[in-house]
Amino acid sequence: MAPTREIRIGNRNEYDRLAEVMFDAIRNGPSLYTEEQREAWASQIHSGDAWTQRLSDQTIFVAQEHEQIVGFMTIAAQGYIDLAYIRPHSQGTGLFRILYQELEKNARTSGKPRLRVHASLMAQPPFSAVGFEILHEESVTVGQQTLRRFKMEKHLETQ
């Protein structure tokens, strides 16, 4: 039997569970980054005031199967997609596209003219597949590690 999947808006009570999804995706999912880079990116599960503040300023789209959150995406002011993570066992199932479609629908309804993202090496292909263009590749330093990523954007047609 196929899992029952629900896409909905997340809430403050789920911030710890979202942090676990993020950690799981970075540390346990397929990756083009080294183990050292993954550890620098996610040395521990996010928590505390900084994590709460970061999420409270965003709209969170959550994918849940039964009682487990299996993925989420967030959109901040001016159409910036800050976080997009799928648990390893749910990657490759089309969940990224489903979450993204809900986020884009919300952005269009809100009148946002474009969406922007800094996509990791793993996130760049799915963002390209939904119409994002690479503006340029860049590197960020986290701890002692340098991670490559892509600055991308998608212009939304006005309706």
pLDDT in tens, 132-146: 999 999 999 999 999
126-153 exposure pattern, b = at least 16 Cβ within 10 A, e = fewer: bbeeeebeeeeeeeeeeeeeebebbebb
Domains in the chain: ranges and CATH: 5-155 (3.40.630.30)
Q: What is the mean pLDDT of residues 105-123?
A: 96
66-71 long-range Cβ contacts below 8 angstroms, 24+ apart? 66/3, 66/4, 69/14, 69/17, 69/18, 69/21, 70/5, 70/21, 70/95, 71/21, 71/95, 71/96, 71/99
How confident is the model at residue 135, as a pLDDT? 98
pLDDT tens for residues 85-106?
A: 999 999 999 999 999 999 999 9
Q: Chain-wide mean pLDDT for the chain?
A: 94
**pLDDT number for residue 3:** 59
Give pTM, 2 decimals: 0.94
The one-letter amino acid at 157: E
